[in-house]
């Protein structure tokens, strides 16, 4: 902790990067720390400390860094939380609503300072604006997710490769290629398709997943990875796989 500056409101700084962001050298911890310190100086905040979560997703608040920063607020060691950008704190509307209720409301008594987003959480209007911002951000993420999911469905229907090659298919050698030059279209693997038909028939007859695994192993049928042992989970995924 740094030395307390009498008369200046105290703030605890929080910075975060995810693994993906670190890999592509994006909004780095050093960059965030620099912005946070400059903001504190400009707005005359007593920045008592900066806590970091390195390689942590904003999908949950179960992160050691944010937990420690919120503890500082609960113990009244600081009156505000200072971040470089709102999405450093959370990307979930549910978590954000909880943070407002518990910390950044009249009841919570703390203030949120964001370098990039100029919103005053000490007022009802400011808190409403933050809810709107997060609602729109969540809608954008869900829209992107839906588009991605729909795009994958189209590819699957066209027998195009989507990630790992699933059981029952092989990559078509000499067929279309993807942007990296690899085979992009799938063709049926006759032996694996026959194994899938066996799995379905046994399941329809009431066999358990473990019983199906035993039949496959007894008949020398191998997994996609060439293993002779089958797990119930592997069979479940194969039987439950759908194009759409």
Average pLDDT over every residue of 84-95 = 83
pLDDT at residue 23, rounded to an integer: 41
229 vs 86, residue with greater confidence? 229
Choose the most confident range, by mean pLDDT, from 11-20, 168-177, 198-207: 198-207
pTM of the model: 0.55
172 vs 22, residue with greater confidence? 172
- Which pLDDT band holds residue 6 (cuts at 50, 70, 90)? low
Question: Does residue 69 carry a pLDDT above 80?
Answer: yes
Average pLDDT over every residue of 32-43 = 94
pLDDT at residue 70, rounded to an integer: 96
pLDDT at residue 5, rounded to an integer: 55
Domains and CATH numbers, the chain: 10-141 (3.40.50.1390), 159-244 (no CATH)
DSSP code per residue over the chain: -PPP-TTSPEEEEEEEE-HHHHHTT-S-HHHHHHHHHHHHHHTT-EEEEEEEEES--TT-S--HHHHHHHHHHHTTS-SEEEESSGGGT-S-HHHHHHHHHHTSSTTT--EEEESSS---TTSHHHHHHHHHHHHHHHHHHHHHHHHHHHHHHHHHHTTB--SSPPTTEEE-TTS-B-TTSSB-BEEE-HHHHHHHHHHHHHHHTT--HHHHHHHHHHTT---TTS-S---HHHHHHHHH----
The pLDDT tens digits for 152-183 are: 565 555 555 455 778 888 887 765 555 555 55
The pLDDT tens digits for 126-159 are: 777 777 776 776 676 677 667 756 655 655 555 5
């Amino acid at each position: 902790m740094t030395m307390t500056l009498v008369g200046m409101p105290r703030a605890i700084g929080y910075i975060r990067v995810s693994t993906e962001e670190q890999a592509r050298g994006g909004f780095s911890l050093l960059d965030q720390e620099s912005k946070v310190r400059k903001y504190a100086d400009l707005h005359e905040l007593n920045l008592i400390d900066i806590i970091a979560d390195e390689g942590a997703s904003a999908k949950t608040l179960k992160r050691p860094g944010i937990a420690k920063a919120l503890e500082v607020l609960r113990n009244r060691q600081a009156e505000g939380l200072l971040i470089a950008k709102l999405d450093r704190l959370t990307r979930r509307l549910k978590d954000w609503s909880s943070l407002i209720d518990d910390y950044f409301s009249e009841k919570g008594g703390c203030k949120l300072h964001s370098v990039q987003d100029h919103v005053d959480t000490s007022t009802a209007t400011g808190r409403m604006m933050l809810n709107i911002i997060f609602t729109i951000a969540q809608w954008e993420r869900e829209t992107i997710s839906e588009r991605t999911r729909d795009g994958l469905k189209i590819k699957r229907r066209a027998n195009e490769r989507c990630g790992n090659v699933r059981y029952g298919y092989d990559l078509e050698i000499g067929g279309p290629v993807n942007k990296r030059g690899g085979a992009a279209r799938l063709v049926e693997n006759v032996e694996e398709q026959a194994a899938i038909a066996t799995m379905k028939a046994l399941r329809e007859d009431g066999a358990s997943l473990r019983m199906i695994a035993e039949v496959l192993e007894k008949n020398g049928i191998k997994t996609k990875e060439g293993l002779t042992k089958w797990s119930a989970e592997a069979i479940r995924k194969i039987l439950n796989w759908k194009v759409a």
